[in-house]
Amino acid sequence: MLISRRGFVAAGATAVLTTGLGTRMAFARAATERRFVFIIQRGAADGLATVAPVGDTAFASQRGSLAEDFVTAPKLDSMFALHPALANVHGLYQAKQAMFVHAVASPYRDRSHFDGQNVLETGGSSAYQLRDGWINRLLTLLPADDKAIALAATIPMALRGKVEVASYAPSALPDASDDLLGRVSAMYQGDAQLHGIWEQAIATRMLTSDMAADNGRNATATGALAAKLLAAQGGARIAMIETGGWDTHAGQRGRLAGQLKGLDGMVGALRDGLGPLWANTMVVVATEFGRTVKVNGTQGTDHGTGSVAMLMGGAVNGGRVVADWPGLSDAALYEGRDLKPTAGLDTVIGSAVAGHFDLTPAKTAQTLFPGMQSARFMNDLVRA
């Protein structure tokens, strides 16, 4: 629940910090050294134009002009190639620190952005079935000192719930003077509830003021900011980054190339900023659903089903593409138009998180995705 007086806090500082107040069940004292970042691609990212199945005999004919980006794109294996804008990601793949799970989707099978994102973020089997997010529920399985933060103007659905979390977003307002900050601190000194929130806001401002350029819209700067927050002593262990603009209904080639270049810069900045902590980091990138296989009349694609999930980081057992590939022939398409999903995002995320934090797979699946129909576990996503 937001606190009405927080609007004044936001106006008085460079950072806007919000919290979801609640209790935390602790299973261990010491915070883990593991870092986890969830990057959501809002708008339905085209997985076929991110990790392209160039070895599928139907790929070129089905994708038309969208296939041209992959004529000289780096090959991942005999079947798949990576979009050329993803240079940092390709380097991680070559270092066996990136992997892709293709033909993947959440349980959602309609094509509404809002409903699809709700399913992805809550971990439910249908839209609005659950009222809290899977990352917030993950926090109940981790040490109490494992804090979470969202790089977003407000706390995203995936982080909402009983456990206290924070969000950071640079303000469009000018920097507040030290005098004003001091007076606000004095005003909140006697407020039991807001004093702690304000102190967190000041600490975040000191850590990130030099990285808040362009109102946080620069993707590379956002990745560097996330790394700084995650690397700070006593800082967050888990972060969620919102990205938008993936709804490519028209002129997809140029727009998607720009999107992927931004994502690539963000991931590269995370790696560089975390330094040695990157070895214990996992980044998961996912979208609410994919896009149609065929190109539409405006050289874009429409809302689809299956897409690709990316796992990156020094903790990832990478260098491969995991796919039970369904094929792109007309007969193989889901509802005659989409990439048919053969893997569940809930399975991928649940397995990745359980392996990364050394959690019991069954309990992790039950907590994060209570409606999961299959308790399958992918054993080899994390380095031994």
**pTM for this one?**
0.83
- Strands (E) located in 6-115: 15-19, 35-41, 51-52, 81-82, 98-105
Higher pLDDT, 275 or 152: 275
The residue type found at 100 is: F
Residues 321, 80 contacting (CB under 8 angstroms): yes
* Best mean pLDDT range from 188-192, 261-265, 351-355: 351-355
User: 123: closest CA among 38, 34, 20?
Assistant: 38
pLDDT surpasses 50 at 298: yes
> What is the CA angle 345-163-211, rounded to 5?
80
What domains sit in the chain, N to C, each tagged with a CATH number?
6-368 (3.40.720)
User: 141: closest CA among 365, 370, 376?
Assistant: 365
pLDDT surpasses 50 at 42: yes
Mean pLDDT for the stretch of residues 188-197? 69
Residues 74, 52 contacting (CB under 8 angstroms): no
| pLDDT, position 181 | 58
* Best mean pLDDT range from 192-196, 256-260, 344-348: 344-348
User: 9: closest CA among 194, 215, 152?
Assistant: 194
Bridge partners, residue 40, by sequence: 242, 286
| pLDDT, position 358 | 95
| C-alpha to C-alpha distance for 210 and 204, rounded to whole angstroms | 11
| pLDDT, position 197 | 60
| pLDDT, position 199 | 61
